Structure 1
Amino acid sequence: MRIVLGVGGGIAAYKVASLLRLFTEAGHDVSVIPTEASTRFVGTATWEALSGNPVSNSVFDDVHLVNHVRLGHEADLVVVAPATADLLAKAATGQAGDLLTNTLLMAHGPVLFAPAMHTEMWQHAATRANVETLRGRGAAVLEPASGRLTGADSGPGRLPEPQAIFDAAMALVQGRSDYQLPLAGRTVTISAGGTREPLDPVRFLGNRSSGKQGVALAVAARNAGATVRLLAAHMEVPAPAGVEVQRVETALELREAALAAAADSDVIIMSAAVADFRPAEVSDTKIKKRDDTADPVITLVRNPDILQELVEQRNASRAGSGQLVVGFAAETGDSQGDVLAYAEAKLQRKGCDLLVVNHVGMDKVFGQDSNAVVILSRAGSEPQEASGTKTEVSEAIVRRISFELNHVSPRA
């Protein structure tokens, strides 16, 4: 497929190098047209090296090839990223001051704009009118992601992640209606962090979970267009912008919140590290250490199996609805079996649709910035491995969830 990739003059231009790589690795022939302003951020040498094609932004280069007409005519797809407020305005008003805007006027195939700008610029009435004009003419304009912008501000205006733009572009070419973002219109509930079970007003039983993976999942789902609800237990990292946050502490509090949230969720991802046991009794006062008394004995009782209850609730009240339940398993192997053997047994026991398996240890996963997981499916498909930063792993998990929602038949 012949793709024209227009690059606007915003700081997010650096992310477009990754988008270009996705296009070329998928076998597409890409011609990059940067605006003059964008070359202040990323030079033409980068685009030429990654695309394997010459790069220009002038209608006066290679005049004999009539590029200002040819490129648009020959393109199977035109993608503009980042689409700045200025570029959207020029496209909406039909300006043709450089090679990119000429190409947009000559484009015969689908056109996709991926906006990126400051929140106030995106929300300005002029920009909104330009977006509606372009959409009215048949162009696809993605909603920007929400989150940290240049400087200290946060809000809608971030360039969607390269994978999300790539997925939207492929869906657009295939004529699918979900081109905007793979989880657009979906509600995703994610649990994150570690629960704490009180022994007394001072002490608790806890675990080593930092919440990094759950927060990364919330960001990935948000960037994929979902409405995200984060059930946050103890976390060592802040909750991301642009998601609804509900704080919980104990396993019982998480259970109540998760069962309630599931009622209107398309996807439930239970990535929190939930305590299997809690103290049978909680002291109202601090348990004292005295030389003249015996060592205290703490009796534990089982906590409810929240993941299994979510599956049972789904099967009872939303049969055939297509709700996806995703569990996490932090496992270690022993003399009785390896990590995947225990995980496969857990998948069948819990009944969830996908199980993301971590091989954990004292120096693995908990608190780290990287991760390696295996995604198991109850449908019996081949295990899928994903590794890298927790952001990259989260994006792989969200892509798998998007695939399951769009390709797997509803569950009985």
Structure 2
Amino acid sequence: MAKIAVYMTGGIALYKGIEVIRSLEKNGHQVRVAMTASATKLITPTTLHALTHAPVLTTLWDQNNSPVPHIELADWSDFAIVLPATANIIGKMANGIADDAVSTTLLATTAPIIVVPAMNTHMWRNPAVQRNIVQLKQDGIRIIEPATGMLAEGYEGKGRLAEPDEITNQLRLIINNSNSGRTFLSGKHLLITAGGTREPIDPVRFIGNRSSGKMGIAIAEAAANAGAHVELVLGQITVPQPINKQIKIYRVESTEEMQVMVGKLFPASDILIMAAAVADFRPSQIASQKIKKHPEQEELELQLVKTADILKTTAAKKRSDQFVVGFAAETNSLLENANKKLESKNADLIIANNVAGNDSAFGSDLDQVTLLQLGTSPIKWPKMTKREIATKLIQLLATKIR
């Protein structure tokens, strides 16, 4: 079992960290805690001392039987978790600032670091915070993204701490994958598509869809965390591109461009996951100049033709050692339409989800999916975050190709 240092900062979500610590201890890990001065205003070090049965580091000057306590804690750790991570500590870590016990110990830590942010949604979206997050990712630090929901300020937005169960599940995956330097998808190549495609009408306008790319990107990050080499073909997205040395990104715009790229990369892949929302039709003609609206004009007619069926044409070429996953985003008759897709596309697995009305998964951090495979009953997963779904899917796929 691992030795885990938990660094607690002064966010109101600090209380959720207690539940994460308890879960880590129940799983057999040793836990020690360091706290900022602000964190001690919300929860006392005595509480954490009683919970972990270990001294709590709050200052650089309290030796705790060690002449250099922050170095001792940094060297002791197999993993370091910053929870909750405020904008302040994220900024310090990104810029190498060490002005208290927590920031100094983190700077001295060579163990893997996992940051779990929590803050007001306006702070989370601030360009400075996002630059710092990018820097942490480039430095090899893993980020467990904040959730969207009701904030302490009384309104909804992205920034609240991920739920303790999700944090624990992601930590379990990271710790298990790092054990003895082995990961369960090490050496495997995954080809993943994400986002939406755009089909041009003229130089200004296009036909597109509401896909954000969140699911495909979450799957790519989960696969990379599991040790896989990931090639991610990205259409149009509304979220930042992932930054991970295990993920190579290819940007495309149209369905045709995505088909060409997938066809090029598929032969070297062990698993293909088609999470992109691909346009089914495109204009038969693309105007070379912007189509102008005339005062007397009431209608504009577009003739549409089918685009390439990337999933079907690619799955038809798969070898016996390749596994193909498709998505079925439906607004009605979910299982009926998804089963038709399973039978006609030659895929090994179809993941069906509802994108109608208030249940739409487009742009949301949450989704509820059903898994369909030939010869088996549908498996309905409960509503989860897309990152939880991604983690669970990667764990399932690892069993399919062992």
What is the letter of the counterpart of residue 372 of structure 1?
Answer: Q
Report the 3-state secondary structure (helix = DSSP H, G, I; strand = E; otherwise coil) of the residue aligned with 1:314. Answer: coil
Counterpart in the other structure of 2:78: 113
Counterpart in the other structure of 2:65: none
Q: Structure 1 residues 44 and 183, CA, compared in 2 at 3 Å: closer, same or farther?
A: farther
Query: In the alignment, which of 149, 154, 163 is matched to residue 169 of structure 2?
Result: 163
Q: Is 1:359 aligned with 2:328?
A: no
> Number of matched residues?
327
Counterpart in the other structure of 1:331: 330
Q: How many percent identity over aligned positions?
A: 30
Q: TM-score, normalised by structure 1?
A: 0.64
Report the 3-state secondary structure (helix = DSSP H, G, I; strand = E; otherwise coil) of the residue aligned with 2:210. Answer: coil
Q: Is 1:385 aligned with 2:369?
A: no
Q: Structure 1 residues 295 and 376, CA, compared in 2 at 3 Å: closer, same or farther?
A: same
Query: In the alignment, which of 373, 385, 408 is matched to residue 400 of structure 2?
Result: 408
Q: Structure 1 residues 167 and 374, CA, compared in 2 at 3 Å: closer, same or farther?
A: same
Q: Structure 1 residues 143 and 151, CA, compared in 2 at 3 Å: closer, same or farther?
A: closer
Q: Is 1:349 aligned with 2:344?
A: yes
Distance in 1, matches of 2:223 and 2:19, equals: 19
Q: TM-score, normalised by structure 2?
A: 0.65
What is the letter of the counterpart of residue 235 of structure 1?
Answer: I
Counterpart in the other structure of 2:5: 7
Q: Structure 1 residues 202 and 183, CA, compared in 2 at 3 Å: closer, same or farther?
A: same
Q: Structure 1 residues 46 and 157, CA, compared in 2 at 3 Å: closer, same or farther?
A: farther
Distance in 2, matches of 1:367 and 1:151, equals: 21
Could you tell me whether the CA contact under 8 Å between 2:192 and 2:275 is conserved in 1?
A: yes
Flag structure 2 segments of 5+ consecutive residues without an equivalent.
57-68, 83-92, 97-105, 118-129, 145-166
Report the 3-state secondary structure (helix = DSSP H, G, I; strand = E; otherwise coil) of the residue aligned with 2:325. Answer: strand
What is the letter of the counterpart of residue 330 of structure 2?
Answer: E
Counterpart in the other structure of 2:125: none
Counterpart in the other structure of 1:313: 317
The more displaced of 206-215 and 291-300 is 291-300
What is the letter of the counterpart of residue 329 of structure 2?
Answer: A
Distance in 2, matches of 1:164 and 1:398, equals: 8
Deviations 1:147-187 (A, max 9, x none): 97966623202378643442465689xxx97x744434333
Q: Is 1:90 aligned with 2:75?
A: yes
Could you tell me whether the CA contact under 8 Å between 1:328 and 1:356 is conserved in 2?
A: yes
Distance in 2, matches of 1:90 and 1:296, equals: 68
Q: Is 1:196 aligned with 2:198?
A: yes
Could you tell me whether the CA contact under 8 Å between 1:114 and 1:165 is conserved in 2?
A: no
Counterpart in the other structure of 2:103: none
Report the 3-state secondary structure (helix = DSSP H, G, I; strand = E; otherwise coil) of the residue aligned with 2:368. Answer: strand
Could you tell me whether the CA contact under 8 Å between 2:190 and 2:270 is conserved in 1?
A: yes
The CA RMSD over aligned residues, in Å, is 4.3
Could you tell me whether the CA contact under 8 Å between 1:44 and 1:55 is conserved in 2?
A: no
Report the 3-state secondary structure (helix = DSSP H, G, I; strand = E; otherwise coil) of the residue aligned with 1:327. Answer: strand
The more displaced of 241-250 and 14-23 is 14-23
Deviations 1:32-62 (A, max 9, x none): 54145689857667768xxxx8532159xxx
Give the CA deviation at 1:370.
2.3
Describe how 1:49-128 pairs up with structure 2 within 5 A: 54-57=51-54, 86=71, 90-91=75-76, 113-115=78-80
Report the 3-state secondary structure (helix = DSSP H, G, I; strand = E; otherwise coil) of the residue aligned with 1:395. Answer: helix
Distance in 1, matches of 2:52 and 2:291, equals: 72
Distance in 2, matches of 1:282 and 1:332, equals: 29
Counterpart in the other structure of 1:153: 135
Give the CA deviation at 1:332.
1.8
Report the 3-state secondary structure (helix = DSSP H, G, I; strand = E; otherwise coil) of the residue aligned with 1:408. Answer: helix
Report the 3-state secondary structure (helix = DSSP H, G, I; strand = E; otherwise coil) of the residue aligned with 2:253. Answer: coil
Could you tell me whether the CA contact under 8 Å between 1:330 and 1:357 is conserved in 2?
A: yes
What is the letter of the counterpart of residue 308 of structure 2?
Answer: P
Q: Structure 1 residues 35 and 398, CA, compared in 2 at 3 Å: closer, same or farther?
A: closer
Distance in 1, matches of 2:390 and 2:295, equals: 52
The more displaced of 251-260 and 156-165 is 156-165
Distance in 2, matches of 1:292 and 1:89, equals: 73
Distance in 2, matches of 1:292 and 1:170, equals: 67
Q: Structure 1 residues 29 and 221, CA, compared in 2 at 3 Å: closer, same or farther?
A: closer
Give the CA deviation at 1:289.
3.5
Distance in 1, matches of 2:330 and 2:187, equals: 34
Could you tell me whether the CA contact under 8 Å between 1:8 and 1:38 is conserved in 2?
A: no
Could you tell me whether the CA contact under 8 Å between 1:115 and 1:159 is conserved in 2?
A: no
What is the letter of the counterpart of residue 408 of structure 1?
Answer: K
Counterpart in the other structure of 1:288: 292
Give the CA deviation at 1:399.
2.4
Distance in 1, matches of 2:133 and 2:44, equals: 23
